[in-house]
Amino acid sequence: MSQKQVGLEDFIDARPVTAFQMGVLALCGLVVFLDGFDTQVIGYIAPMIAKEMHVPKSELGLIFSSGLVGLMAGFMVIAPLADRFGRRPVILLSTVFFGLFSVLTTTADTSFHLIILRFLTGLGLGGAMPNALALTGEYCPKRRRATLVIIMFCGYSLGSIVAGLLSAQLLSSVGWRGVLWIGGTAPLIVAAALFFLLPESPNVLALHGKQAKLRSILARMAPKDVSDDQDFVLVEQKTKGLPVTQILSPARLIGTLLLWTVFFMNLLDLYFLQSWLPTLFTEAGMSLQKAIAASTLIMAGGIVAAAVTGPLMDKLGPYIILAALFIGGAISVTMIGLTPTSAFAMVMVSTFCAGFCISGAQKSCNALAVTFYPTAIRATGVGWALGVGRLGSIVGPLAAAALLTLGLASAKLFFFAAIPLLIAAVAVLVMGKVYGMGGRRAEAQAVPVAGE
CA–CA gap between residue 226 and residue 105 (Å, rounded): 48
Kindly give the confidence (pLDDT) of every residue in the chain, 452 residues in length, as a single tens digit, with 9 standing for 90 and above. 567 888 888 888 888 899 999 999 999 999 999 999 998 888 788 878 888 887 776 677 788 778 878 988 999 999 999 988 999 999 999 999 999 999 999 988 888 888 999 999 999 999 999 999 999 999 999 888 888 999 998 898 889 888 888 888 888 888 888 999 999 999 999 999 999 999 999 999 998 889 999 999 999 998 888 888 888 888 765 566 677 888 988 888 999 999 999 999 999 998 888 778 887 887 777 777 778 777 878 878 888 998 888 888 888 888 999 999 999 999 999 988 887 767 788 888 989 999 999 989 988 999 899 988 888 889 899 999 988 987 887 788 888 888 888 777 777 888 888 999 999 999 999 999 888 743 334 343 333 333 33
Half-sphere exposure of 218 (CA within 13 A, CB side): 30
Relative orientation angle of helices 297-316 and 145-197, to the nearest 10 degrees: 120
**What domains sit in the chain, N to C, each tagged with a CATH number?**
4-449 (1.20.1250.20)
Model pTM greater than 0.75? yes
Q: Mapped to the 3 state alphabet, what secondary structure does 132-160 carry?
A: HHHHHHHHCCHHHHHHHHHHHHHHHHHHH
Whole-Å CA distances, 71 to 281, 356, 402, 413: 26, 23, 22, 25
Whole-Å CA distances, 407 to 91, 216, 299, 404: 43, 62, 29, 5
